[in-house]
Structure 1
Amino acid sequence: MLGVRHHGPGSARAVREALDACTPSVVLIEGPPEADGLVELAGDEGMRPPVALLAHVTDDPARSAFWPLAEFSPEWVAIRWAVERGIPARFIDLPAAHSLAQDPDRERDFAPATDPDATDPDATDPDATDPDATDPDATGTDVAGTDATGAATGADRDVDHHLDPAADPHRDTAPQEPRTGDHLRIDPLAVLAETAGYDDPERWWEDVVEHRGSADDALAPFAALAEAMGALRERYGDGGHARDAVREAYMRLQLRAARKEFGDAVAVVCGAWHVPALAARSTVSADRALLKGLPKAKVDMTWVPWTHRRLSRASGYGAGIASPGWYAHLFQAPDRPVERWLTKVAGLFRDEDRTVSSAHVIEAVRLAETLAVLRGRPLAGLSETMDAIRAVMCEGSDVPLALVHDRLVVGDVLGEVPPSAPAVPLQRDLTRTQRGLRLKPEAAERELELDLRKDTDAARSRLLHRLRLLRVDWGEPAAASRGSTGTFRESWRLRWEPELAVRVAEAGIWGTTVLAAATAKAESDAIGAPALSDVTALAERCLLAGLPDALPTVMSVLADRAALDADVGHLAQALPALVRALRYGDVRGTETGALAEVAAGLAARVFVGLPPACASLDAEGAAQMRGHVDAVHTAVGLLADVSPPGLRGRWQAVLRILGARDTVPGEVRGRAVRLLLDEGELREGEAARLMGLALSPGTAPADAAAWVEGFVGGGAGGSGGMLLLHDERLLGLLDAWLTGVSAEAFTDVLPLLRRTFSAYETGVRRTLGELVRRGPGATAGGVMAPAAIPGFAAEPDRERAEAVLPVLHLILGLDTPRAAQVDNDHDHDRAEAPV
């Protein structure tokens, strides 16, 4: 009986030594028996841990569970030991067919109702449906009988009940066993550490296991741990893990069968918590009675890549460890681990352009060893090395130390699974496509820049968009970098998570290839879309993903929804997505004729319905409608090149109507006038006239402030401030209105004005303040005189204007003689209109 701590490198080394000493005829391992046929794959050259066994219900892949294994997991060491020697290795835990078929109501028959791990198998989070969620692993420290299974929900709030009196109001401050009716879950590792006088269970584990040498008797450590677990189970019973009784009954039956076949030459590698229960005397009939009536489902199982980060307790994995990268290092470098670790840290810092010399490493090693002596530890552990790194290499700062924790203590190592591992057809097609596009899944997040004019990058873009349609979010669109905002460039953030294997399995119901599955999923989403804007967004995504076969269905649904939807707001929301889709279609060479027709028809309906829809709106409705006006304006500008002629003119006519009607809210009227001004459709002085009318004494102050917000605020952003800087008449009108508002009305309009001007950049606000401070005394007829504006002179400065010309000639590539001739010919014009 080799009781272990899962994901413990000391346990892994001890298991290897014990197996070498005993040479059993069969190795029994805690895990789902359905994986027996996958054991041989552990010896494949393409298999590189961390990996995980993935089980999911055949007809419902969302009901799934993982059994992660790292290189330093005792179970992985046992599997590899058996495969290398041709010895049978079998899993003996409760089958996944039973665990994943559990009905929540039936599960309460043997799991307490307060157990947070008696979860709904239909939960979408694959970790939340872990078949061994109630194992002591889920308490966060997995020495005593923990399994190598997926994370258990609610684990964090169940940790250390025996140490935290606040966890149970009925308990005294002194540690004592939990009351039977409370189903409190103990943390065996913390109990043992506390008994030994440690307040940190991880430090105790390092001192008594990781830092010990090889024992003379390879089985002695397991005997000692089994004795400790026996004492704990005698005191705490099932420790609040009622479900263990069923699992242990099945394990005992499997152990009897193995002993009947192989005699006593049997090695059992399981969580140490289970050892006393497996060694206990029990009848076959009693064990079978516990298993009677368990539901069963048909499950599929395979190997999938895992990551060190997902082995971390911080990821929510209940059986996780605090430092998977550190434990991997201890397993790989049993000799001089501190020196090797600090050398690795120095390499990381150098890669990040931090100055770290060999002297830093030497001093850090000395400091770590000295700290270990001062703290009474046999060897320096993770806490000593991290303290030494902070003091010597980080100059006392925790900022670079966080990089060490993220990259090395936890790490982003991603395992690999050989192509021969079982997989759904969709997964095989995805893997084949990834290889063809040289797009390797990685655990660390990375940026990917795509130029859609290149065939390979365009194919990568289509793959990532198709996966997003299938809810396989391997890539997430990011803001374009390198100063590029064109449609020919895309930026993505890529990060492969183990759960994506479950999403791929779920998406397998839509097709056997990524293209076929995404097409079927898009058609289904279009038919079931709740709103018109959802359908237009889907049409855009179909073009991004390159799904021409899905477009007819999507366009048919879109045309039907657009014809029946009379809400102008819905139509205005839908139009921008359609226009963007047209642009993306042009970039990708997709046929978008039908899309252009629908977009033009949608725009025409918006033009007709918008003026009536803007009448008599409250403040909230006006703000929302202003957003619709902005969106439609942008869409019309993009649509004008591919739509019937006259579309832009019709839209400008709509804006004129909106800007002139008194029944339209001030915010929308102001925005319409501003858009016409930006388009150059207002005669000289027309904008000032309209502003003067809007800010006249007869207009309510609140409505006038709303007009100002629409004209120079909101979506206008900093450009509204620049408009006021360069058009003194508008600034003078605004200044005259604001100074004439009564004190009571000013208090009411101040919040809206503050919101309007707070969007301006600091420099714009400062300059506006200077203009207003100096301007009122130099205005005539409400118009600020240029001479009163800082930076503006009454006459152009000829000398300053001419100083610009040489640079301008150089930029334009003009030769000096010709430039000089031009200067002479146009000397008078240059003085009147300086550069």
Structure 2
Amino acid sequence: MATTFVGGRHHSPACARLVAETIEALRPAHVLVEGPVDMNDRLDELLLGHEPPIAVYTYYRDEERSHASWTPFCDYSPEWVALAAGRACGARVRFIDLPAWHPAFTGRGNRYADAEARYTEVTGRLCREFAVDNTDVLWDHLFEVEPADGLADRLTAYFDLLRGEATTEHADVEREAYMASWVRAAQADAGDRPVVVVTGGFHTPALRVLAAGAEPGWPEVPRPPQDAVGASYLVPYSFRRLDAFTGYQSGMPSPEYYQHLWEDGVAGAAEALVASVVGRLRGRRQPVSTADLIAARTLAQGLARLRGHADPSRTDVLDGLVGALVSEDLSQPPPWTVRGPLRPGAHPAVVEMVAALSGDRVGALHPDTPAPPLVAAVTAELLALGLDGSGEVDLDLADDLGLRRGRTLHRLRVLGIVGFDRLAGPTGGGDPVFTERWRLTPSDRRLPALIEAAVHGATLEEAAGAALRGRVEDAPVDRLAEVLFDAALCGVTALSDDVVTALTTRVGAVADVAELGRVLVVVVGLWRYDGLFGTAGSPVLGAVISGAVTRVLWLVEGLHGGPAPADHRRLLALSATRDAVRHAESVLATGRGEAVAVLGRVAADPQAPPDLRGAAFGFCWSLGGGADVVRAVRGMSGPRTIGDWLAGLFAVAREEVLSADAVIMLLDELVHALSEEDFLVALPALRQAFAYFPPAERETIAKRVLVARGTGGSARELLRIDVDPVVVAEGMALEAKVDAVLAREGLA
């Protein structure tokens, strides 16, 4: 009985070749692979004949946590090669790692993520010793471009060194103990035949120790709790999702380059990379001459010899291309010298190099691959509604078919399914727009997105509803209105009692009046007007409105402060609260009388900010509170308060002001009575206050003032002045000061 451990790096062509050669040479009884053990019953599905890259997508949800993760494979993944090579030689092939839903993978979105952060000290020393920039360049130098002779020994020495100095997490201990139990069972079953174990090199040193001896009987496969919801499906994957330069933080970067390295060897990969970069640059109309190309190849060959490579490595080629094609200083280090996504502002040539390294390859599943019910449901729904094509689509939401098509498209949008982009349509509660325009774009990313969205439900309506409920629970309060409007667009008008309770609880805990105002504006609009979307009178919206109104009233009574510029967002909240009391009183826990009483106290509170006092007074006046508006205006007529107080009044009771000639005449009287200095003080706030009136209403006010003064002329022309009123007022004040100085000096 002999067990051979092949520990390598995920998505490494060198390690994949070693795995294939080892299995072919040994023809073992068992090939054990680091991967989800609960997929062993579905290995035939995994080996149907897909076109990598593909991944096993797993989702899981119970009362305590939810989790989603991927187990990706490409042509040169050692695990993928082990499955195929083991099956080809007649070995019993098995995954031996814990399932992706297991708590050992909590917080880990990718099974094959490197443990790199735990051994940065030792890899840093190695990088300094070999004079390379980072771990990826070190790996290429030690393994990918070196001859295959002695590769297994070099890998063993490398990972023994890393594991010897790295910290070990509890999850590693748990996973390695479980994988070792499979190795011991395989050794017992194999007798005198070999066993091959293929895992990440970080685990290999521990497995050699833990797997000593034989232990008859195969380990039990963990099962999720009965109340848990979850499943695993194969999904097409893409090189962009694999690449470290676009955010993937495990395995090898530059997947397109390593695909060529796998297929064509080191020299072939170098030539393919140069050709791809030059082709992309020329396609972008970036000049690349034959001389540039010769210079790039010459530089790459020279760098390879200098660095001890028989053929140019990935970074040899890239550094040669930069030297030949980039004449100015780079604003940031080339991304292949540091790990992570390309940062904004990179040189255009560098951008194209990274794109060439990543590639745009997307995997494809075999037609017989099982898919979650959502995929078939969406396909049938799009076909039935005529939404399975491409191009722009115009919808009439007042038409039943148009509304159904719109809801389907919005459900796909909220699930993040690519290829469905809304170009125009209603933007909020009460928006009087009844048409939409969409752009449909077929995409090879649509199928994986649908499979991944299946975590939410088996039908499009169910999945969108579940996704929206999750957004309601997680959204900050200022985004809550957006989520509820999306629910209306999707036709999801009923939410569970616990979600409604969570909504009202969160609204009731908000400390910012302005945030509540944004919620109320949209929700009250949906409550009042949207019979089209089925939200008018919705009990869910009613619960939100009631909670928000109660909270606003509680908050504003405690707001104190001296004169300050009017807060438009706060005034919008008072206006929305007034609309809620006026139009949705039947669902409010706080009635009209109580609301008027609260804001009556605010209006009379000398410690409250002037804009809030004005809004509170307008609230009471607009709801028939029997307020004496003339007395109130006179009481706030000081130059430092009148403008802000009027801003609050106009924001909430604009219609009432327009219908009260006595108020307009009083305002004209008070403004006219201001001294030039006081007028200059009051003017900015007065301008902000009167901005609450649309142009036509400002013209109406001007007409009334002209008539009252017995002055002729055009009100419209009066409003169309060429000079900023502030400039005029400042000029008048300056003239008054000059006159005063002249009079004092006897020069007037």
| Structures share fold, TM-score greater than 0.5 | yes
- 2:456 is equivalent to residue 507 of structure 1: yes
- Report what 1:206 is aligned to: 140
Q: Which moved more, 1:355-364 or 1:499-508?
A: 499-508
- Report what 1:160 is aligned to: 120
Task: Report the residue type matching 1:488 in the other structure.
Answer: T
- 1:28–1:267: 8 Å Cα contact kept in structure 2? yes
Count of aligned pairs: 626
**In structure 1, what is the Cα distance between the partners aligned to 2:306 and 2:471?**
65
Give the direction of change, closer, same or farther, for the CA distance of 1:384–1:706 in structure 2 (3 Å limit): same
Alignment of 1:378-417 (within 5 A): 378-396=310-328, 398-404=346-352, 407-410=355-358, 413-417=361-365
- Report what 1:106 is aligned to: none
Q: 2:254 pairs with 323, 344, 350, which one?
A: 323
SS in 2 for 1:160: helix
SS in 1 for 2:18: helix
Alignment of 1:92-241 (within 5 A): 92-93=96-97, 95-96=98-99, 100-101=102-103, 121=106, 127=109, 137-139=114-116, 155=117, 158-162=118-122, 187=123, 193=127, 196=130, 198=132, 200-213=134-147, 215=149, 220-230=150-160, 236=164, 240-241=168-169
**In structure 2, what is the Cα distance between the partners aligned to 1:297 and 1:551?**
24
- 1:466–1:518: 8 Å Cα contact kept in structure 2? yes
- Report what 2:743 is aligned to: none
- Report what 1:466 is aligned to: 411
Alignment of 1:501-650 (within 5 A): 504=453, 506-508=455-457, 512-519=458-465, 540-547=485-492, 573-579=519-525, 586=532, 590=533, 618=561, 622-623=566-567, 624-628=569-573
Alignment of 1:235-254 (within 5 A): 236=164, 240-241=168-169, 244-254=172-182
Give the direction of change, closer, same or farther, for the CA distance of 1:358–1:283 in structure 2 (3 Å limit): closer
SS in 1 for 2:196: strand
Task: Report the residue type matching 1:343 in the other structure.
Answer: A
SS in 1 for 2:351: helix
Give the direction of change, closer, same or farther, for the CA distance of 1:403–1:591 in structure 2 (3 Å limit): same
Deviation at 1:254, TM superposition (A): 2.1
SS in 2 for 1:404: helix
- Report what 1:28 is aligned to: 32
Q: Which moved more, 1:333-342 or 1:53-62?
A: 53-62
Task: Report the residue type matching 2:146 in the other structure.
Answer: R
Task: Report the residue type matching 1:37 in the other structure.
Answer: D
Alignment of 1:298-377 (within 5 A): 300-313=231-244, 319-334=250-265, 335-356=267-288, 360-377=292-309
**In structure 1, what is the Cα distance between the partners aligned to 2:570 and 2:475?**
21
Q: Which moved more, 1:316-325 or 1:70-79?
A: 316-325
Deviations 1:603-634 (A, max 9, x none): 9x99xx99xx8999746795144334776999
Alignment of 1:55-74 (within 5 A): 56=60, 62-74=66-78
Task: Report the residue type matching 1:258 in the other structure.
Answer: A
Deviation at 1:651, TM superposition (A): 11
- 2:184–2:211: 8 Å Cα contact kept in structure 1? no
**In structure 1, what is the Cα distance between the partners aligned to 2:682 and 2:418?**
47
**In structure 2, what is the Cα distance between the partners aligned to 1:460 and 1:191?**
60
Task: Report the residue type matching 1:269 in the other structure.
Answer: V
**In structure 1, what is the Cα distance between the partners aligned to 2:268 and 2:27?**
30
Give the direction of change, closer, same or farther, for the CA distance of 1:532–1:340 in structure 2 (3 Å limit): closer
- 2:409–2:420: 8 Å Cα contact kept in structure 1? no
Deviation at 1:29, TM superposition (A): 1.1
Give the direction of change, closer, same or farther, for the CA distance of 1:531–1:458 in structure 2 (3 Å limit): same
- Report what 1:803 is aligned to: none
- Over the residues paired in the alignment, what is the CA RMSD in angstroms? 6.4
Alignment of 1:794-809 (within 5 A): none
**In structure 2, what is the Cα distance between the partners aligned to 1:255 and 1:513?**
42
State the identity %: 23
- 1:576–1:635: 8 Å Cα contact kept in structure 2? no
SS in 2 for 1:51: strand
Deviation at 1:8, TM superposition (A): 1.2
- Report what 2:744 is aligned to: none
SS in 2 for 1:48: coil
**In structure 1, what is the Cα distance between the partners aligned to 2:48 and 2:222?**
35
**In structure 1, what is the Cα distance between the partners aligned to 2:304 and 2:673?**
80
SS in 1 for 2:271: helix
Deviation at 1:378, TM superposition (A): 3.3
**In structure 2, what is the Cα distance between the partners aligned to 1:309 and 1:264?**
41
**In structure 2, what is the Cα distance between the partners aligned to 1:704 and 1:79?**
80
Give the direction of change, closer, same or farther, for the CA distance of 1:518–1:373 in structure 2 (3 Å limit): closer
SS in 1 for 2:66: strand
SS in 2 for 1:380: coil
Task: Report the residue type matching 2:102 in the other structure.
Answer: L
**In structure 2, what is the Cα distance between the partners aligned to 1:359 and 1:438?**
53
**In structure 2, what is the Cα distance between the partners aligned to 1:426 and 1:61?**
23
Task: Report the residue type matching 1:161 in the other structure.
Answer: E
- 2:488–2:534: 8 Å Cα contact kept in structure 1? no
Give the direction of change, closer, same or farther, for the CA distance of 1:457–1:249 in structure 2 (3 Å limit): same
Give the direction of change, closer, same or farther, for the CA distance of 1:85–1:634 in structure 2 (3 Å limit): farther
Q: 1:452 pairs with 395, 405, 412, which one?
A: 395
Task: Report the residue type matching 1:400 in the other structure.
Answer: P
Deviation at 1:89, TM superposition (A): 1.9
- Report what 1:80 is aligned to: 84
- 2:635 is equivalent to residue 707 of structure 1: no
**In structure 2, what is the Cα distance between the partners aligned to 1:521 and 1:585?**
23
**In structure 2, what is the Cα distance between the partners aligned to 1:232 and 1:572?**
54
TM-score with structure 2 length normalisation?
0.62
Task: Report the residue type matching 2:395 in the other structure.
Answer: L
TM-score with structure 1 length normalisation?
0.57
Can you give the 5+ residue segments of structure 2 that lack an aligned partner in the other structure? 331-345, 585-617, 706-719, 737-748
**In structure 1, what is the Cα distance between the partners aligned to 2:7 and 2:721?**
70
- 1:35–1:91: 8 Å Cα contact kept in structure 2? yes
- Report what 2:711 is aligned to: none
Task: Report the residue type matching 1:452 in the other structure.
Answer: L
SS in 1 for 2:115: helix
SS in 2 for 1:161: helix
SS in 1 for 2:121: coil
- Report what 1:170 is aligned to: none
SS in 2 for 1:336: helix
Can you give the 5+ residue segments of structure 1 that lack an aligned partner in the other structure? 103-118, 140-154, 163-186, 442-446, 640-649, 731-763, 781-835
Deviations 1:232-279 (A, max 9, x none): 65xx27754565454444334323433444442433222234444444
Give the direction of change, closer, same or farther, for the CA distance of 1:532–1:80 in structure 2 (3 Å limit): closer
SS in 2 for 1:96: coil
Deviations 1:526-553 (A, max 9, x none): 9x99999999766633331134677999
- 2:266 is equivalent to residue 266 of structure 1: no
Task: Report the residue type matching 1:201 in the other structure.
Answer: T
SS in 2 for 1:465: helix
- 2:71–2:112: 8 Å Cα contact kept in structure 1? no
**In structure 1, what is the Cα distance between the partners aligned to 2:577 and 2:33?**
64
SS in 1 for 2:252: coil
- 1:16–1:81: 8 Å Cα contact kept in structure 2? yes
**In structure 2, what is the Cα distance between the partners aligned to 1:406 and 1:463?**
37
**In structure 2, what is the Cα distance between the partners aligned to 1:340 and 1:765?**
68
Deviation at 1:19, TM superposition (A): 3.4
Task: Report the residue type matching 1:250 in the other structure.
Answer: Y
Give the direction of change, closer, same or farther, for the CA distance of 1:21–1:294 in structure 2 (3 Å limit): closer
Task: Report the residue type matching 2:347 in the other structure.
Answer: V
SS in 2 for 1:319: coil
- 1:3–1:275: 8 Å Cα contact kept in structure 2? yes
**In structure 2, what is the Cα distance between the partners aligned to 1:71 and 1:328?**
7
- Report what 1:43 is aligned to: 47
Deviation at 1:6, TM superposition (A): 1.2
Give the direction of change, closer, same or farther, for the CA distance of 1:232–1:88 in structure 2 (3 Å limit): same
**In structure 1, what is the Cα distance between the partners aligned to 2:64 and 2:391?**
33
**In structure 1, what is the Cα distance between the partners aligned to 2:300 and 2:401?**
50
**In structure 2, what is the Cα distance between the partners aligned to 1:304 and 1:317?**
17
Task: Report the residue type matching 1:266 in the other structure.
Answer: V
**In structure 1, what is the Cα distance between the partners aligned to 2:498 and 2:59?**
35
